[in-house]
Chain A
Amino acid sequence: MHELSLMENVVATLRASAAENRIKKITRIQLVVGKLTMAVPEALQFAFEVFKEEDLFKSAVLEIKEEPVRGECKECQHAFEIKDYEFLCPSCSSPQVKLVGGRELYIDFYEGD
């Protein structure tokens, strides 16, 4: 699935940033992944293994923080977690719901030497 190409992008970003910060070994990576991206944490971990041969990532631990799908009602401003992909306001039943969470896909931070 698309986890491998997502990891390619993660790794490329890390490589560039590590070079900039003169970091030779990355020890810890925190990745934030919204549930709506459909990226499976296990598959991301598996994809990351591919890059572990590289010195930079050899001792790196990948931590994945999952974010729930969240909505905000455009009618009554009620903020809520979207369960079962039902984009309907639980407070006023309006279908006009703005997506405010669940699409996250970013590297929060990394640590290294």
Chain B
Amino acid sequence: MVKVRLAAPVLQQNEEVARENRTFFQKHGIFVLNLMSSPGSGKTSTLERTIEHLAGSLKLGVIEGDIYTTRDAERIEAYGVPVVQINTAGACHLDARMIRPALEDFDFGGLDLLIIENVGNLVCPAEFDLGEDARAVVLSVAEGNDKPLKYPLIFRQAQVVLINKIDLLPYTDCDLSLLEKDIRAINPDLEIFRISARENTGFSPWLSWLKEQVKIKKQKA
């Protein structure tokens, strides 16, 4: 019998590729955002509004992760933004290796911001580094108050939470201050923005944050 001590991180390979992706983005001075949520949070609508608002001020590309369909990619393409679709063929998250071939499909010269819309799921995407600069979680008030405590890792790993569907607040039993308190207990450094993608409200602070990050990344390149 042979005993082999490995102490090998299970996701070592993913982390190596993520590092390579990060170097690539760094070289091009592109700020990369990993956009995550559970299904039905309004992540794609949030992305659509964000694209509309940024039109003319930032050059943006999108990577759409989806298990099987191209529906979300088609929605984004309608805004005249370059989109690369990645089908994960059943996998519930994107990983760093899936991102890499997509990088060849963009003309990165002049691109300021790349948004990666991850697969709708609060568990698995949290574990896989893609080489992004920041992670944002879209959470809707309709999902109930217990999401942060049920899925703490994703909130611990994120820099931003967008609380969406604020317009529906009177029709839910969501306690917004309690929700934000739970989020901050997990991660006190999180930026929290309250938005309604449907009514197109509350986007200004979020867009300012995004533009600031793009500027900082450009200066570092």
* Interface size range on B against A: 20 to 34
In the complex, what's the smallest C-beta–C-beta distance from A40 to chain B, in angstroms? Answer: 10
* Residues of the B chain whose Cβ atoms lie less than 8 Å from the Cβ of A17: 4, 6, 8
In the complex, what's the smallest C-beta–C-beta distance from A80 to chain B, in angstroms? Answer: 14
* Interface size range on A against B: 20 to 34
* Residues of the A chain whose Cβ atoms lie less than 8 Å from the Cβ of B176: none
Chain B residues in the interface with A (C-beta under 8 A): 1-14, 91-93, 95, 123-124, 126-127, 148-149, 151-153, 156, 184-188
* Residues of the B chain whose Cβ atoms lie less than 8 Å from the Cβ of A10: 10
Chain A residues in the interface with B (C-beta under 8 A): 1-2, 5-6, 9-10, 12-13, 17, 21, 23, 27, 31, 36-38, 84-88, 95-96, 99, 103, 105-113
A-B CB proximity, top 5 nearest = A2-B124, A95-B188, A85-B152, A107-B6, A109-B5
- How many angstroms from the CA of A106 to the CA of B5 in the assembled complex? 11
Does B2 lie within 8 Å of A109, measured CB to CB?
no
In the complex, what's the smallest C-beta–C-beta distance from A10 to chain B, in angstroms? Answer: 5
5 contacts between A and B (CB under 8 A): A2-B124, A5-B124, A87-B186, A87-B187, A111-B3
Does A95 lie within 8 Å of B1, measured CB to CB?
no
Does B8 lie within 8 Å of A85, measured CB to CB?
no
